[in-house]
Chain A
Amino acid sequence: MSYLTLSITLIFVVIPLLLSKTLNLGLGRDMIVATLRSIVQLLAVGYVLKFVFDSESLIYIFLMVTLMIVAATHNAQKKGAAIQGITSKVAVTLVSVEVLTQGILLGFNITPATAQYIIPISGMVIGNSMVLSILFLNRFTSEIESHQDETELILSLGGTPKQAIHTQLINSIKASMIPTIESQKTVGLVQLPGMMSGQIIAGADPIQAVQFQLLIMFLLLTTAAVTSVMLGFLSYPTLFNQRMQLMEKDLN
């Protein structure tokens, strides 16, 4: 695709801008910022990827993945600011998910150990893990707040912090995983996943594109489960002190 052709696609940005202006949605500024950011970020990443692929150096792959984890951690931790040490907990979770998934992929020779595979797959895994972290933390903090009576009840009956927070923890883990599971149920029927569509448009064999897409979907299922469970079990102990008291905090 030429840059001239690409510029014509800005029509797809103009349509929502016009709608926003006509209906006074107040989203115009946000959409312009989002468009400009996506252009700059994606073009920059395109050139960076080209450089990394050409160099074939493991150090650059490592740096790229580290950058992704740092950016994703920074974004996700905002939703759990009330949880003590949330930044390190999110970072540990993202690193663990990345190590686990790449360990299996490379360990079983499912994908080659090249930048062309490691970086895009890591991007999908880390990005998904970040969204899961945000969904989980959002739900978990609101569950704690709305079920404070129940938590205190179980503590007052001689329950441990883990018992007191169990229902809220499980509810939050389930709620954060539902979008991943539901989207997988309808994949292929309602929507063709972006990566698969991209491969097909670029001329790849549809069956091979489907195989890769299945790989990614299975990966994302693991990512979702490990992220929610790990973040949950790392987070809940910090809500209590050594005397098994619920720490009074503003969770908003």
Chain B
Amino acid sequence: MSVNYKPAVHFNHVDFSFGKTPILKGITGSFPEGKITTLVGPSGAGKTTLLKLCNGLLSPQSGEVYIKDRPIEDYEPVELRRLVGIALQSAPMVGGTVYKNLCLPLELQGKSLSKAEAEELLHDVGLEVELLERKVKDLSGGQRQKVSIARTLVNKPAVLLLDEITSSLDRTSLKEIEELIVKINRKYGTTIIWITHNLQQALEIGDFTWVMMDGEVVETGESDLLNDPANDQVRRFVRGEAE
């Protein structure tokens, strides 16, 4: 699928295991630059592990991961994680206000974020600026997820990894987040790699999709492959028979 596109992230025969349990087996493939690629597959397929390999929260036991054509080991971990941001399903927060959370990425670099910049970020993700001084524990699921995305955007990542960020949201919040991700992708040209259980979302939002099962990539291509998968296992999964 990536033949015509420059890869933002490339996996070459990547294996990963926790102890003696293999999680990823011989992963090879690319995530095209500036595109939205969804990762779908049953629970335990290794999708989150694959995401964490992209920003160096984990390292493969064998094989290579490339970010913008450079081997991942060539990046300093801190530099890599600012280049490849991640937003998690649980949207973890540090205690305190929304502003404190938005300040965090720059504080880690010894810099500061002005209130005006923070307000602009909130505006970018579709949140009211009044939320800036709100305690994070008082946010709704959708608001929390948007703050988490806004916080990741502070580092201006070239690649944004999303781990099931809409799975616990109501329909309205889900649609808002989808629109937000598309907006980020279009506005900043950010490469998006998005784990989702929502196949409709993968079809509507994703340019491309990877279907993973049992630690392997079983089918990749443009998202509409989910309408008519070539692989039997994927067909059963899409019909809801293999979850």
List chain A positions with a Cβ less than 8 A from chain B.
Answer: 149-150, 152-160, 163, 167, 243-246, 248
Contacts and interface: CB of A to CB of B under 8 A. Distances in A.
Contacts of A243: 56, 59, 77
Tell which of A152, A155, A167, A246 has the most Cβ of chain B within 10 Å. Answer: A155
Interface residues of B, number: 25
B81 A157 contact: yes
A232 to B, nearest CB: 19
A248 B82 CA distance: 22
A163 B55 contact: no
A153 B88 CA distance: 9
B58 A158 contact: no
Given A153-B92, A153-B93, A243-B59, 16 more contacts: A149-B90, A152-B57, A153-B88, A155-B57, A156-B81, A156-B85, A157-B104, A157-B105, A158-B105, A159-B78, A160-B78, A163-B108, A167-B94, A245-B57, A245-B58, A248-B18
Nearest to A164: B108
B217 to A, nearest CB: 23
Nearest to B56: A243
Contacts, number: 58
Contacts of B90: 149
B109 interface: yes
B92 A155 contact: no
Contact of B81 (A149, A150, A158, A167): A158
28 contacts: A149-B90, A149-B92, A150-B92, A152-B57, A153-B88, A153-B92, A153-B93, A153-B94, A154-B108, A155-B77, A156-B85, A156-B86, A157-B82, A157-B85, A157-B105, A157-B108, A157-B152, A158-B78, A158-B81, A158-B109, A158-B155, A159-B108, A160-B108, A243-B77, A244-B77, A245-B56, A245-B57, A248-B18
B82 A158 contact: yes
Nearest to A148: B92
Nearest to A160: B78
Contacts of B57: 152, 155-156, 245-246
B100 interface: no
Contacts of B155: 157-158
A157 B58 contact: no
B146 interface: no
A244 B108 CA distance: 14
Contacts of B56: 243-245
Contacts of A158: 78-79, 81-82, 105, 108-109, 155
A94 B86 CA distance: 41
A3 to B, nearest CB: 57
Nearest to A156: B86
A157 B111 CA distance: 14
A77 to B, nearest CB: 24
B91 to A, nearest CB: 9
Contacts of B18: 248
A246 to B, nearest CB: 8
Nearest to A167: B94
B10 interface: no
B47 interface: no
A245 B49 CA distance: 13
A132 to B, nearest CB: 26
B35 interface: no
Contacts of B88: 149, 153
A150 to B, nearest CB: 6
A150 B55 CA distance: 16
Interface in B128-172: 151-152, 155
Interface in B71-117: 77-79, 81-82, 85-86, 88, 90, 92-94, 104-105, 108-109
A99 to B, nearest CB: 35
